[in-house]
Structures are given as structure tokens and as C-alpha cells.
Amino acid sequence: MPSPVGHALAGLTIHALAARERGDLFDLRRAGIVVAAALAPDLDLLARFIDGRNHHQAESHSIGFTVMAAAAVCLLAVWRRWPRPPVLALLAGAGWTSHLLLDYLGKDTNPPIGIMALWPATSVYFKFPWPLFSDIGRTLAWETIRHDAAAVAWETLLLLPLLLVCWRRRLREVER
């Protein structure tokens, strides 16, 4: 499964692709919402501290939670009187979905293997057979740290150029 670095880069890429004008491209609130949504599914790791069970890659890594997160952002935006709540909701949904896609494309070594992508329709776990991203270890052992650093470097090598190309292209388009 990709690291937070990979998920944040994917969120920023979605933010850049969704910008319709220069102000959108440099709107920190919009960028923050998309990046937060791209990172949020992994908050399920904290649930282990509540009940001792592994909740990772279950319901929070699904289309069902994507819809709930988008709805929550829409309600928050209406309550806070932010401009264009439906757009912010769609951006949050796209950011959340990017997390699902990257995890689907990542190597998974911690059971359950895969993500529960289609919950609540089904509780089946789905996994891409040829991973593009390495797994991320969850210990502070030297071998794990070295492995994780290589995994983050690979994610950055793949995703940063995509972000830069999308940002540059969108910037040119909105400045016309």
C-alpha cells in the first residue's frame, strides 16, 4: 500500500486537474480538502487502538465511504458558507477515490489482502494482481525504515512528474 506521500501527491494532482481558473489552482482550502480526503481512509489504522482489531482496508477503503465523505464535506461547506459546496464535495470524493485506486494498485502484505472497494454492496476484498507500488511497513526496525524509504522514493518518482505535468498544463490553460 502506498505511503502518505504517495496519497498526498495523488490528491494534489486531482486538485490541479480540477482547477477551472487560476484562483482554484492556488486555493489552499480546496487543495487541503482534496489532500485530506486522499489521506483520510488510512485513519482506520487508529481504530486498532479502540478495540484491538485490524480495520485497515475495510469499509473506509470503499465507494460507500467515498460517498459518505463527499456528503460530509458538502454539509460542512454549506454550514461554513464556503463557495460551491457541491464542487468541494466532488473534489473530496475524487481525493478519497484516488486513495482507493493507489491502494488497489499497491502490494499488500498485511491481511486482509486487498481493499473492500465495493462496500456496502459486497464485503469482498479486491487486489490488483501486478502491484505498481510497494507495501509500507509499520515498524521502526532498520530494515523496515530502509524498505519504506525506497517505497516512498518509487512513489515520488512515479507520481511527482504526473503532478508537475498536470499543474503546469492546468496553469497554462487557466492563464489563457
Tens of pLDDT, residue by residue over 85-130, are 999 999 999 999 999 999 999 999 888 899 999 999 999 999 999 9
Residue 107, domain extent: 4-174
Specify the pLDDT at position 51: 84
28-35, Cβ contacts within 8 angstroms, sequence gap of 24 or more: 29/82, 30/88, 30/91, 33/73, 33/88, 33/91, 33/92, 33/95, 34/91, 34/92, 34/94, 34/95, 35/8, 35/11, 35/95
Of the chain, the percentage scoring pLDDT greater than 90 comes to 85
Give me the pLDDT at residue 2, please.
93
Name the pLDDT band for 175 (thresholds 50, 70, 90): confident
Q: What is the pTM of this model?
A: 0.94
pLDDT mean over 51-67: 90
Beta bridge partners, 133, equal: 106
User: Domain count of the chain?
Assistant: 1
